[in-house]
Structure 1
């Protein structure tokens, strides 16, 4: 169950990064709403990470959480913010995904 919470926490990390990106593109009230979304997503992400670390080692949980956030944020950047796509970027993204899977496999 805590692995599921950790994965959801990672998705909320992606959400808060997305909110930051949208806030950067906005002004006025819209910008403030994106920043509010950032704070909400950040709070949920941290609360779920804290809950997950009750049974998952902190080093593993943190690495998986940041890995999900990094992979998700890169994908959101490519799909939403039109960040560049090139072989080195995709290669290292794939190695990051492999590392996350490896940490899950070796954790007790």
Structure 2
């Protein structure tokens, strides 16, 4: 269950980080509400997962899911660059996330 909570926390990180881009420095109300609310839930879920998972692995997976997710969201919704080198390095992050999950006992 802790790994499920960690994945949810990572997905919520994608939401709040993407919403943060649309807050324009917290000058737009609804994107700001979305960013703050999902950030709070993301931190809560991360903290809950860390009750039974090692902090280093949990944090690395959370950041990795967030980083990969935000880059993909940028490519899909904000027409950010999707060149092969960028996708290769994203794949390395995914391999690292999977590796951390596989070696975790």
Distance of 1:46 and 1:53 partners within structure 2: 10
Q: CA deviation at 1:32?
A: 1.3
Distance of 1:52 and 1:82 partners within structure 2: 33
Distance of 2:59 and 2:3 partners within structure 1: 12
Aligned residues: CA RMSD: 1.5
Distance of 1:8 and 1:39 partners within structure 2: 16
Q: Which 4+ runs in 1 deviate beyond 3 A? A: none
Aligned residue-pair number: 105
Distance of 1:50 and 1:76 partners within structure 2: 25
Q: CA deviation at 1:102?
A: 0.1
Question: Which residue pairs with 1:94 in the alignment?
Answer: 91
TM-score when normalising by structure 2: 0.95
Distance of 1:63 and 1:27 partners within structure 2: 27
Question: Which residue pairs with 1:106 in the alignment?
Answer: 103
Q: CA deviation at 1:20?
A: 1.0
Q: CA deviation at 1:62?
A: 0.0
Distance of 2:22 and 2:78 partners within structure 1: 9
Structure 2: which 5+ residue stretches go unaligned? Answer: none
The C-alpha deviation readout for 1:39-76, integer Å capped at 9, x for no partner, is 00000000000000011100000000000000000000
Distance of 1:71 and 1:33 partners within structure 2: 24
TM-score when normalising by structure 1: 0.93
Q: Choose which of 77, 80, 89 in structure 1 pairs with 2:77.
A: 80
